[in-house]
Chain A
Amino acid sequence: MIFTSAVLYFDKDSYKKLLPFIESHTEVEVYEKDIDAGKLILVISTEDDAQLEVIQKNFLANDLVIDFTYHAIHFGESVDKLIEGKIEIDFEDINSKKKNKLQ
């Protein structure tokens, strides 16, 4: 699991409109808010970075969002799994014979 904190800048007059959109993303939690300044601190819990990027793209595509930017990431659980060989890093579209399990 990867945990990422991000800063969301939004149109400060549209917080109520924005909230359902945020809540529709089950991976996203609001941790801190400064509504008058149009800023929210989000923490996103995802299985991988690809999922994280999809969420970022969704947010940036929303007209009420002015900016969305990463600040910190914790990947300790994934490092443990990676080193223990529990994550395959190869891809489905590569010949399966060439797949390397992490040692």
Chain B
Amino acid sequence: MELSRRNFIKSTLAASAAVAAGISTNSSAVAQTQEVVVERWVKGVCRLCGTGCSVYVGVKGNRLVAMKGNVESMTNTRGYLCVKGMNIWKVAHHPDRLTKPLIRDGKGVLRPASWDQALTLIEKKFKEYHKKYGYDSVAYYGSGQCTTEESYTFNKLWKGGFGSNMVDGNPRLCMASAVAGYMSSLGSDEPAGAYADIEKSKTIFLVGSNLSEAHPILFRRVTRHKKDNPDVKIIVCEPRKTLTSSVADLWMPSLPGTDLAIFNGMAREIIKNGWYDKEYVKTLGRVTTGDGSKELTWDDYVKHLEKYTPQYVEKKTGCPAADVKNAAKMFAQSDATLSMWCMGLNQRANGVWANNLIHNLHIITGNYGKPGADAFSLTGQPNACGGVRETGSLAHLLPGARPVANKKWREFVEGYWNVQKYSINPSKAINPKPGMHAVKLFSSLGGEKDKTKPVKAVIMSTTNPAQTLPNVNKFIGGMQDAFTVVIDIFPTRTAQCASVVLPAAFIYEKGGVFGCSERRSFLTDKAVNAPGEAKADIWIAAQIAKRMGLTKLIGWANETNIDRMNELAWNDYIGCTANTEKTLKGATYKRLKESTVGVQWPCPDEKNPGTYKRYVRGMDPIFDNPKRYGYTIPDDAKEFFYARPHGKANIFLRDDPDNSEQTSKAYPFIMTTGRVLEQWHTGSMTMRIPETAAAHPHSFVEINEKDANRLKIKNGDIVKVESIRGSNILPAKIVNNTLEGVIFVPMHDQKADRMVNFICSDIVDPISAEPDYKVSAVKITKVSGPKKIDGRYLVTREEMNKKSFS
């Protein structure tokens, strides 16, 4: 039968889906038609969210023409895709792509320049400031969207080459509390388990996560698991009743910022009813408080929890007392409980403590180390884990996610990088003092005339702090006055503040490794060439290294082939971390190139398949040779939290302090922020996709119907949402899915009077320094009745030449 071209395409897509769904089909027909549909399929990872979905992009000529899920994938099982990922091609081919370096002239206009001109200016400024103000006056601010090779290169350049720890990144704004939570509770960052635990779990506790909109593919796995196994219990604990709650057996509402009382209340119920795992607590739990150094007794813990009666919890949080009891029972009486959380727990003034209290629940019920049981933090970006946490590209870390203040580890990294020989800093050493976390860094950024601002220059890659920082108005002036370099694919608010803008290559135009939430590193191959003069970040880092006299430190600086640069950087990285529990020594570049599923660390050698479950003998390869990693594990230990000498996880006594901004008579509402399904982060990509932008073209404010009635606000009315820091003008959306007194505003809008971070509180968690985006005290006033407002707003090339945001 002769098929038209369109029918060829449709047959191919159908055949591929049939394979994914396990329906037998004529495979030879698939092979025949594939060549017509695309010239080649190139494997990669989806660029959006932190799930790490595995895809193939179809290429014809130098164009992306198709995308399909990888049926072998362990993340998006069966190769299923969501609407956000499927639209990514419109980003790659978008006409707004930055294609030439830009330098701001004396009149404030960004003028096209050559790469040599832009890099020469960067070199001149960096050298000048190093000399005048010291090495810490020049900072790097990265992203969970850079590849691992890129983050590692910039991190090595700064910490090893400049002797400066002024390296931080946007993961500070999204998962720093999870990092500190894992490190303080279990002794080592990142989850013990994996996504595979979803299908093995008996109870799923979703807290501070609107999984349905933020991680749709994982939500699909959860819903399918529930549909296939109706006995599985799902508990959702979040301030808003979202689509995620639609699959829940129990929705636990709570006032934003108060859920620590719920977790302590659940622990109290579990102990009071004898549902805790005495043997697990005895063998693997250790009661402590503060920084974890002082050991307390179980009785101290029980006494500490006495305050958290269901009635107290209800009064404090708004969560019905009966729900606390039910949740405790479901959590403790299942054979395997999996908790998953995201920004709702992390972006908080008490984010680390909230994380600690989730771990407490797992320790006291023995819910680690067995299939289906884990405390799993979800990340919001595709390479926050692999690129930033694991390479240690934060101000206080080194590769392997070990603290820069750890002398032994610092000296090892100095030796591995040959810092003494290659560093341009006279100290010839890695600075033992941590650099500045994101909020402090941007608070300290300013022009040469401002003596109060010690940071004079910053290079920012694949991130948009002029929109994402909390109380952002506070930081814009500093970004405009300092020497700021922005690497990005589109005009953004941050590019609007920049001295130099460098056009970047998109992931499918350069390739590289992303490591997702479940410790899985996966390599994306380059599929097409970047437009115009856009370059890969690793090339940009290499050019800076060369110009700063650090060619030998960055051994791939003289390479011209990006694939080869990536390979050399990856090899250097996995060598550096080979003797840590985060080892990917067995995930050679060749293996990653060939693998269609990626590799989960620890993976100490090429024969090792990678690790599904940590801390369990027979599953975790660290048990095979603990001394190699600096650990001691008793021969008879079946489960052991080896990053602590005693092998026990900390059960923390944590109270429920009111660290967040408090409401008042003048500011009586709590505003919380978050995502919507169609958009991602600051919308610089998703607002450029017509369909997703049309589905959510602008922000709005969700107001509880009772509050709206009191304020005489109707659906569509224009209202002013105002905190002591700033305000937004937004259309009202009247809802009944929140508690009274709580409002919600999405975070994606770029229009100046709808940028929610002008309102947000810049209180940070005292341990993780992650901002408290989830709790801000605001007031609401009606401005007018319903009014047509501008839809999707995008920073244009023209607007990049204006100082003020419109």
**Interfacial residues, chain A to chain B (CB-CB below 8 A):** 1, 3-7, 29, 31-34, 37, 39, 41-43, 45, 48-50, 52-53, 56, 66-67, 69-76, 79-80, 82-83, 89-91, 93-95, 98, 100, 102-103
Q: Which of A43, A56, A95, A100 contacts B10 (CB 8 A)?
A: A43
B69 touches A72 (CB 8 A): yes
Q: Nearest-CB distance from A15 to chain B (Å)?
A: 14
Query: For window 8-32 of chain B, which residues contact chain A by CB distance below 8 Å?
Result: 9-18, 20-23, 25
Q: Which of A45, A67, A76, A82 contacts B227 (CB 8 A)?
A: A67
Contacts of A94 in B (CB 8 A): 790-792
Q: Nearest-CB distance from B53 to chain A (Å)?
A: 11
Contacts of B695 in A (CB 8 A): 50, 53
Contacts of A73 in B (CB 8 A): 13, 66-68, 81, 86
19 A-B residue pairings within 8 Å (CB atoms):
A3-B9, A3-B13, A31-B10, A31-B18, A33-B23, A39-B23, A43-B10, A48-B690, A49-B83, A49-B692, A50-B694, A69-B81, A71-B68, A72-B67, A73-B86, A82-B90, A93-B697, A93-B790, A93-B791
> B450 contacts the other chain (Cβ, under 8 Å)?
no
Closest to B796 in A: A98
- Known contacts A50-B695, A70-B86, A91-B791; A29/B10 CB under 8 A: yes
Contacts of B89 in A (CB 8 A): 75, 79
Closest to A98 in B: B796
Query: For window 206-255 of chain B, which residues contact chain A by CB distance below 8 Å?
Result: 220, 223-224, 227
> B58 contacts the other chain (Cβ, under 8 Å)?
yes
Q: Nearest-CB distance from A12 to chain B (Å)?
A: 13
> B724 contacts the other chain (Cβ, under 8 Å)?
no
Counting chain B CB atoms within 10 Å of each CB, the highest count among A71, A79, A89, A98 belongs to A71
A100 to B81, CA, bound (A): 30
Interface mask (B76-116 → A, CB under 8 Å = 1, otherwise 0): 00111111001101100111100000000000000000000
A67 to B12, CA, bound (A): 22
Q: Nearest-CB distance from A44 to chain B (Å)?
A: 9
Closest to B82 in A: A70
A31 touches B20 (CB 8 A): no
A79 to B25, CA, bound (A): 29
Contacts of A100 in B (CB 8 A): 95-96
A102 to B97, CA, bound (A): 11
Q: Nearest-CB distance from A16 to chain B (Å)?
A: 19
Contacts of A52 in B (CB 8 A): 83
Contacts of A93 in B (CB 8 A): 697, 788, 790-791
> B428 contacts the other chain (Cβ, under 8 Å)?
no
B79 touches A75 (CB 8 A): no
A49 touches B691 (CB 8 A): yes
Closest to B692 in A: A49
A71 touches B6 (CB 8 A): no
> B64 contacts the other chain (Cβ, under 8 Å)?
yes
Contacts of B14 in A (CB 8 A): 5, 31-32, 41-43
Contacts of B18 in A (CB 8 A): 31-32, 41
Closest to B60 in A: A76
B11 touches A31 (CB 8 A): yes
B694 touches A71 (CB 8 A): no
Q: Nearest-CB distance from A2 to chain B (Å)?
A: 9
Counting chain B CB atoms within 10 Å of each CB, the highest count among A6, A72, A89 belongs to A72
Contacts of A72 in B (CB 8 A): 13, 16-17, 66-69, 79, 81
Contacts of A7 in B (CB 8 A): 17, 20-21, 78, 80
Contacts of A32 in B (CB 8 A): 14-15, 17-18, 23, 25
- Known contacts A70-B80, A91-B697; A76/B66 CB under 8 A: yes
Counting chain B CB atoms within 10 Å of each CB, the highest count among A3, A34, A42 belongs to A3
**Interfacial residues, chain B to chain A (CB-CB below 8 A):** 6, 9-18, 20-23, 25, 37-38, 58, 60, 63-69, 78-83, 86-87, 89-90, 93-96, 220, 223-224, 227, 688-695, 697, 788, 790-792, 796
A79 touches B10 (CB 8 A): no
Closest to A8 in B: B21
Contacts of B69 in A (CB 8 A): 70-72
A75 to B17, CA, bound (A): 16
Contacts of B23 in A (CB 8 A): 32-34, 37, 39, 41
The 9 closest A-B pairs by CB, nearest first: A76-B65, A72-B68, A31-B14, A5-B13, A5-B17, A49-B691, A71-B17, A93-B791, A74-B66
Closest to B67 in A: A73
Closest to A43 in B: B10
Q: Nearest-CB distance from A61 to chain B (Å)?
A: 13
- Known contacts A49-B87, A53-B695; A71/B20 CB under 8 A: yes
Q: Which of A5, A42, A43, A103 contacts B95 (CB 8 A)?
A: A103
Q: Which of A49, A56, A71, A89 contacts B80 (CB 8 A)?
A: A71
A45 touches B10 (CB 8 A): yes
Q: Nearest-CB distance from A72 to chain B (Å)?
A: 3
Contacts of B788 in A (CB 8 A): 93
Q: Nearest-CB distance from A96 to chain B (Å)?
A: 12
Counting chain A CB atoms within 10 Å of each CB, the highest count among B17, B60, B65, B694 belongs to B17
Contacts of A102 in B (CB 8 A): 95
Q: Which of B63, B224, B689, B690 contacts A76 (CB 8 A)?
A: B63
B81 touches A71 (CB 8 A): yes
Q: Nearest-CB distance from B229 to chain A (Å)?
A: 13
A67 to B633, CA, bound (A): 46
A75 to B38, CA, bound (A): 11
Q: Which of A56, A74, A98 contacts B13 (CB 8 A)?
A: A74
Closest to A48 in B: B691
* Extra contacts besides A67-B220, A70-B69, A76-B63 (8): CB < 8 Å: A43-B14, A67-B223, A69-B80, A71-B13, A72-B66, A72-B69, A73-B68, A80-B63
A69 to B68, CA, bound (A): 12
Closest to B69 in A: A71
Q: Nearest-CB distance from B283 to chain A (Å)?
A: 41
Contacts of A76 in B (CB 8 A): 9, 37-38, 58, 60, 63, 65-66
Contacts of B11 in A (CB 8 A): 31
Q: Nearest-CB distance from B104 to chain A (Å)?
A: 23
A24 to B22, CA, bound (A): 26
Q: Nearest-CB distance from B680 to chain A (Å)?
A: 15
A41 touches B791 (CB 8 A): no
Contacts of A53 in B (CB 8 A): 83, 691, 695
A45 to B790, CA, bound (A): 31
B16 touches A71 (CB 8 A): yes
A90 to B690, CA, bound (A): 7
Q: Nearest-CB distance from A9 to chain B (Å)?
A: 8
Contacts of A4 in B (CB 8 A): 13, 86
Contacts of B65 in A (CB 8 A): 74-76, 79
A69 to B219, CA, bound (A): 12
A95 to B18, CA, bound (A): 45
Q: Nearest-CB distance from B685 to chain A (Å)?
A: 13
Counting chain B CB atoms within 10 Å of each CB, the highest count among A1, A5, A45 belongs to A5
A75 to B691, CA, bound (A): 14
Contacts of B80 in A (CB 8 A): 7, 69-71
A37 to B21, CA, bound (A): 10
Contacts of B691 in A (CB 8 A): 48-50, 53
Contacts of B86 in A (CB 8 A): 4, 49, 70, 73
Q: Which of A1, A50, A82 contacts B6 (CB 8 A)?
A: A1
A64 to B21, CA, bound (A): 18
B64 touches A6 (CB 8 A): no
A82 to B9, CA, bound (A): 19
Contacts of B78 in A (CB 8 A): 7, 71
Contacts of B697 in A (CB 8 A): 91, 93
Closest to A29 in B: B10
Contacts of A89 in B (CB 8 A): 90, 94-95, 688, 690
Closest to B81 in A: A70
Q: Nearest-CB distance from A56 to chain B (Å)?
A: 8
Q: Nearest-CB distance from B211 to chain A (Å)?
A: 16
B690 touches A91 (CB 8 A): yes
